[in-house]
Amino acid sequence: MQLDKVYEPRRFEPRWAQWWVESGIYRAEYQPADSDKARPAFSLVIPPPNVTGSLHMGHMLEHTEIDVTVRWHRMRGDTTLWLPGMDHAGIATQMVVERQLAEEGLDRRAMGREAFEARVWKWKAESGGTIKRQMIQLGASCDWSRERFTLDPGLSRAVRETFVSLYEKGLVYRGEYMVNWCPRCRTAISDLETIHEETAGHLWHIRYPVVGKSDQYLVVATTRPETMLGDTAVAINARDERYRDLHGRMVRLPLMDREIPIILDDIADPEFGTGVVKITPAHDMNDFEAGKRHNLPMIQVIDESAKITLAGGSYAGLDRYEARERVVEDLKDLGLLDSVENYTLSLGKCSRCKTPIEPLVSKQWFVKTKPLAAKAIQAVDEKRIEIIPENWVKTWNEWMHNIRDWCVSRQLWWGHRIPAWYCDACGETIVSRTDPDSCSKCSGALRQDADVLDTWFSSGLWPFSTLGWPDKTDDLKHFYPTTLLITGFDILFFWVARMAMLGIEFMGDVPFRQVYIHGLVRDAEKQKMSKTKGNVIDPLIVTEEYGTDAVRMALLSGAAPGTDIAFTTDRIDASRAFANKIWNAARFILSNPDTESESLFEDLWIRSRFNECARQMNEAIQAFRYHEAAQTIWHFIWDDFCDWYIELKKIRGNWRWARTVFVDTLCLLHPLMPFITEELWHRFVEGEGKSISLESYPQFNLILFQPEEEEEMDLLQNIVRAARNLRAELGLDPKQPLEGKISIGIDAELLRRLCGVTFTRGDVPKTGAVRSTPDFDLSIDVPTGQIEAQRRRLEKERDQLMKNIANSQRQLNDEVFLSKAPAKVVDSIRAKLAEYEAQLAKIEASLNG
RNA sequence: GGGCGCGUAGCUCAGUUGGUUAGAGCGCCUGCUUCACACGCAGGAGGUCCGGGGUUCGAGUCCCUGCGCGCCCACCA
């Protein structure tokens, strides 16, 4: 079949993408562990993308790195499982659907829980396939027969089992604590879901009159004056001399006309502001703690929608920010506003909707994390979980050691309903694996907890819930612990940490042996890609334009561990050119007859180079050094194979060898560029239903190493380069045949074909167009008028050599160096010096001649 | 307030345990429509490895410090 001159990925990629899925060749089939045919297992679960989302460049990088590794393992003969799936993504998905409803003028509360859930499922059915289609298109070689969704019945059972079991162990509890409340989402969120942003604000200084001491005030500073409505104390530091006489007194809370105590507490920092702090136990995390220490009453003055409650007196019903203005106005009128200064504060916001968090006390479910974290810390310490790059271990430990209990209940409707029931009659709480009919204590009617679990609770079970847990399945036996996890640092705590804790707790073993943390894909200006900045690159669009392989290669070539990737179209251009290069190499090889003859030195040479390339590829992929793998194969194909080997084959046939090496090279490249390699492989290899992805991956083989041929090729290349360089320098017509002399014996015909100079062996003239190297001298016959450029070049070279010689001599005269440096280094300098001197002599002879 | 990372050619970045002439891609310059490929071929220019100090026979690489930039964590009113 005739191949096009330019590689058109669109003509081939969709077909292979589809076939890889339909043929089911990536299904992980294992033999019983005790059978002769049992192979080592390699398993990896996908970081499940949001079911209603679509792929972005970060996914593509992640999936490419995973796919390279997975394909490599598969080709090495491991029983390989890449388990795909999606996450229901509680808040994110619910928000999307709520927004849709809003556009239709609907509200979830009005339509009711069941109808709303049905609506989300409908949306999931519509959009849920997007990611899967995209992944398939990008060549992800996962096992779709094992695809999972966090809300599947099986996974829901795992969630319930985990929750109940944690409850029974006392690791899950319900209680009234201060939580991060998002007034817009109307739900509690975890610490991790709040982001802190530097925000311009004010520090209001307010006078609190001291009871029984007319005209004396305590001035408190606050960034949130509206919370004073709920103040139940002011605090001063016991060491603070200024307020010593006020110990035990009361102040009158302005606006509310309430007497509150002056307490002594370290919460007040004498160095900060006036050294006096107002205490609002119901609306500040610190104050909440202080309130508990001093048994202060807790007055909730802000409600779940961030409006002032009835307890806020005349301010009731106002939004918290309206209330703030009013409070400040009123204080001003009363002459109780001491001063206002500008102040930037770190304001906690909801990571989803950016609404400022309202700390509220509410009844929520928590996971007691300290005991779980301890085991996870230990696992990393003992390298049962290996985190790569290693510097993330520090971050891991830092977070794990300071972990706080995890608020897992969410006031949402989309998610796993908390398996807890309350009996209104007797107050009993029942947490159960199965839905109870009535109260086990008083047979009263039960009411299930209205809340759902944090999305990350179910994701935290992913490595084993997807394999069938809590049942004892064969999949679990074969694939747990999973071998590797490849993910981004942004979900290290959200997800990786939770999996580690829950995996160890419930499986008794780590969920993964290695975690590779990949970098971030940034835009050409190194900015983070984000929808709000509008600099996101849609993988589907670029792959459509350049081909999936080219984009994969572009990503991989920048994927050095521990670094982010600046994604530029230049890089993809280069990768596309690379794909085209391979395509044309294949085209050319195929256009030549598949004849065999005696193997020549270049055949042995290319095998030797290939062998070295294979060694490096294996090492690089093993170590997650994807950029190195990309560079290695790139260099081998373009420079060694195309520029030298094919050029030599043009001169003297034996295309059988070329075919063999090329097909093996396709195997080497396949994990990185699956489409073009699959397509081309089928042009060389017979067999319906076969796939290059099931071939074995080339390994280093000492037998193929050919030092002599490598040396000979080195010499040939140097001669050819020297001659070409000379021609270019002399400004000669590249096509003009030339004559020359060379000091060593070498295949003259080969040289003539490669550089257009017919060399005869013999004495090389000292002057004229001469090139000298330690290994050979050569000259080209040219009219004397054309060698001025050559002379300037020689002078430059001479200067460089003299500098090198001086350097080497200085070192060799240095006794300390001689005594301390390894003999290897000293010898190499001696050898170099000899070379420099010999060359210098030649050059000077030319110049003086 | 803690922690992590970055600063190497015009641009984007490699550089594994310190070893002697620091690499790649893109861009740039010169010459080639050579019968696989102009998404190509050949040749070339371009770097005081952010500044300063130190360890060492030897530092882009290790240590300290300064400057610039980025990120993460944290309940400082």
Q: What angle do CA A235, A236, A240 make, to 5 degrees?
A: 175
Does A822 sit behind a cis peptide bond, omega within 30 degrees of 0 on the bond before it?
Answer: no
Q: Which of A176, A254, A180, A256 is nearest to A210 (CA)?
A: A254
A394 is near strand B: CB distance < 7 Å = yes
A5 is near strand B: CB distance < 7 Å = yes
Residue nearest to nucleotide B73 (CA to C1'): A399
The nucleotide whose C1' lies nearest the CA of A270 is B77
A558 is near strand B: CB distance < 7 Å = yes
The nucleotide whose C1' lies nearest the CA of A399 is B73
Distance, angstroms, CA A735 to C1' B33?
A: 14
pLDDT per residue as tens digits for the range A405-456:
999 999 999 999 999 999 988 888 999 999 998 888 888 889 999 999 999 9
pLDDT per residue as tens digits for the range A703-741:
998 888 998 999 999 999 999 988 888 888 778 888 899
Number of continuous H segments (helices) and E segments (strands) in chain A:
28, 29
DSSP A305-323: TSBB-GGGGGGTT-BHHHH
| CA dist A108 → A113, A116, A134, A183 (Å) | 7, 6, 31, 16
- φ and ψ of A302, to 5 deg: -125, 135
Tell me the whole-structure pTM to 2 decimals. Answer: 0.91
User: Looking at the predicted structure, is the pLDDT value of residue A802 above 90?
Assistant: no
Structure confidence at residue A621 as a pLDDT band (50, 70, 90): very high
| CA dist A357 → A604, A626, A785 (Å) | 69, 41, 83
A523 is near strand B: CB distance < 7 Å = no
Residue-level pLDDT at A835: 83
A708 is near strand B: CB distance < 7 Å = no
Residue-level pLDDT at A459: 95
Q: What is the ipTM of this complex?
A: 0.94
Across the range A328-351, mean pLDDT stands at 86
Of the spans A188-192, A340-344, A651-655, A662-666, which averages the highest pLDDT?
A662-666
A177 is near strand B: CB distance < 7 Å = no
Residue-level pLDDT at A1: 56
A799 is near strand B: CB distance < 7 Å = no
In chain A, what percentage of residues exceed pLDDT 90? Answer: 46
Which range among A62-76, A400-414, A430-444, A774-788 shows the weakest confidence by mean pLDDT? A774-788
**Mutual angle of helices A548-557 and A539-546, in 10-degree steps:** 110
Distance, angstroms, CA A625 to C1' B62?
A: 24
Mark the nucleotides of strand B covered by protein, meaning any atom under 7 Å from a CB. 2-6, 12-15, 19-21, 24-27, 30-32, 34, 36-44, 56-58, 71-77
The nucleotide whose C1' lies nearest the CA of A520 is B71
Cα A833 from Cα A17, distance rounded (Å): 58
pLDDT per residue as tens digits for the range A483-525:
999 999 888 899 999 999 999 999 999 999 999 999 888 777 7
* E-assigned strand segments in A11-122: 41-45, 79-83, 85-86
The nucleotide whose C1' lies nearest the CA of A550 is B39
Cα A457 from Cα A454, distance rounded (Å): 5
